[in-house]
Structure 1
Amino acid sequence: MSVQVIVLNGGSSSGKSTLARALQDELPEAWLSLSVDTLVDAMPARLTAGGDGIGFADDGAVDVGPDFTALQDAWTTGLVAMARAGAHLVVDDVFLGGTASQRRWLDALGDVPTLWVGVRCAPEVAARREAERGDRVAGMAARQAEAVHRGVGYDLEVDTTGTDPADGARTIAAHLRSSRGD
């Protein structure tokens, strides 16, 4: 059975979004790229300032409340419905809860064929990227670089520390071809 969803998990500024765009160029089918950042950007401002939504501390810590969790669950359900309707999805996420975050996705996806990809990046490189972006809280990238991978199982891992995104995309595409027997 052909993979319908590719889940990219990595810390902030690890290169997930750039890798997702490179995958869209590399893969022969049309793949939609959807990011947890899209979900956060779509939320009302009052839910991005902490409390019951999502909050970003000065040291880079991220806290999520019940309203964020409820919207995230609805978002996940919607993405799975898109995949079940035939859309190929590249999902760019940050598993703040490690194993529990992956479990949430596993439960939602059920039997939808999924490729789990760990996107790793050296903390110092992710921190440099974070500073260059200017749209992230300093410290978030270094804090998340290893934490988001704890207890998470992958089919494949790519390290974006010094790798061109196109090379990472080719690695993932080759894995997809070999799993299909191409």
Structure 2
Amino acid sequence: MPGLIIFLNGTSSSGKSSIAKELLQILNEPYFHMPVDAFHAMRTRREVGPEELPDLLRRTWMGFHRAVAGMAEAGNNVVVDHVLSEDWRLPDCVGLFNARHVVLVGVRCSLEELERREQARGDRPAGLAAMQFERVHAHGLYDLECNTTTASAADCARQISAFLPERPTPTAFERLRRTLRPEPATPGQEAVALS
């Protein structure tokens, strides 16, 4: 039996990692938090030229998707912390993940609050959340949405936990699989939007 993937999608600084940490505290079964930032942090710190960077980042995201799929297929429950800011990412995930066992959660936050958080953090490029804001939720289809502008990470985690036993069928991923055609994600085909 594949593990369940709780797929948190939102812009940088929207609160996905905070929600994931809260979920790990309240969910009854064991879950692994797999944030894409952890994959970027594993990479060597050597300087990468601008001509290499798009391919490198794309390969990192592709590997991340396949690692998540592998963990879930081995029966592990996973909380994924993601940013669907490039057109190829969602179709790649839809093609890889067991669609029946994915809960797609939209993590929303107002642009003003995102910009405030981004500035307070100081570890993200200025304007990153604003650049991602329109693209991240463009597919428009979720099993569940939460808004961290007004709700705490703990409140969002409780909302997600309460939703899990009642999750509908078909899932958002099952419905997306009918409309999206996964295409091979080959490096170098498009300009990169930083994670």
TM bin, normalised by shorter chain, reads 0.7 to 0.9
Aligned match of 1:130 in 111, 115, 118?
118
How far is the alpha carbon of 1:40 from its aligned partner?
1.3
**Percent of pairs identical after alignment?**
36
Report the TM-score, using the length of structure 1 for normalisation.
Answer: 0.84
Gaps of 5+ in 2: 169-195
Higher strand share: 1
Which residue pairs with 1:82 in the alignment?
A: 71
How far is the alpha carbon of 1:49 from its aligned partner?
6.0
Provide the secondary structure at the position in 2 that maps to 1:173: helix
- Sort the Cα spacing of 1:2 and 1:134 in 2 relative to 1 into closer, same or farther, 3 A: same
How far is the alpha carbon of 1:152 from its aligned partner?
4.2
Which residue pairs with 2:17 in the alignment?
A: 17
How many aligned residue pairs are there? 168
The one-letter code sitting in structure 2 at the alignment partner of 1:72 is W
Deviations for 1:95-125, whole angstroms, at most 9, x for unmatched residues? 1114x32111111114561000010000110
Provide the secondary structure at the position in 1 that maps to 2:167: helix
Which residue pairs with 1:114 in the alignment?
A: 102
Provide the secondary structure at the position in 2 that maps to 1:45: coil
The answer on 1:145 being equivalent to 2:133 is: yes
The one-letter code sitting in structure 1 at the alignment partner of 2:93 is W
> Hey, what's the Cα distance between the residues in 1 that align with 2:94 and 2:67?
14
Contact 1:122 1:161 in 2 (8 A): yes
Q: Which runs of 4+ in 1 moved over 2 A?
A: 44-53
> Hey, what's the Cα distance between the residues in 2 that align with 1:157 and 1:87?
23
Deviations for 1:144-167, whole angstroms, at most 9, x for unmatched residues? 223211124211111100211111
Provide the secondary structure at the position in 1 that maps to 2:29: coil
Contact 1:126 1:145 in 2 (8 A): no
Contact 1:40 1:48 in 2 (8 A): no
Report the TM-score, using the length of structure 2 for normalisation.
Answer: 0.78
- Sort the Cα spacing of 1:66 and 1:27 in 2 relative to 1 into closer, same or farther, 3 A: same
Please give the root-mean-square deviation of Cα atoms over the aligned residues, in Å.
2.1
Which residue pairs with 1:175 in the alignment?
A: 163
How far is the alpha carbon of 1:30 from its aligned partner?
1.4
The answer on 1:96 being equivalent to 2:53 is: no
Contact 1:122 1:145 in 2 (8 A): no
> Hey, what's the Cα distance between the residues in 2 that align with 1:168 and 1:2?
25
